[in-house]
Amino acid sequence: MNKETLMNVLIQPHVSEKAANITEKANQYVFRVRSDASKSDVKQAVELMFEVKVEGVNLLNKPGKSRRFKNVAGKRNGYKKAYVRLETGQSIDFTGAAK
């Protein structure tokens, strides 16, 4: 896969309380990824963009929720998340602060 395609695999970091706890305890980071991304695509993209070594990737496909507004039924969009586990001693700094 070429670098241009890999740069578009990761959409954004998924920020939540659960994601923060996982980052502290298990050295895992959570990203929202494209719905057609595979584990190897996510691994290559993280290694390319953040210059770290990835130990493993788990993917989760989150379906959209059914919602109702007044008498009109609708549905929210679903998304795909990737839990990326880094090797020991590796970390990702999202703030961009210089070391």
Residue 82: C-alpha distances to residues 6, 9, 11, 20, 27 (Å): 14, 11, 11, 14, 14
| Rounded Cα gap, residues 59 and 57, in angstroms | 7
**For residue 95, is pLDDT > 90?**
no
**For residue 41, is pLDDT > 70?**
yes
Prediction pTM value: 0.87
3-state secondary structure of 67: strand
Tokens of 96: 């961009």
- Please identify which residue in the block is written with the tokens 């057609």: 36
| Rounded Cα gap, residues 62 and 58, in angstroms | 13
CA-CA-CA-CA torsion sign (27, 31, 35, 41): negative
Residue 94: its pLDDT value, please? 77
Side chain identity, residue 99:
K
Residue 93: its pLDDT value, please? 84
Residue 82 or 93, more confident: 82
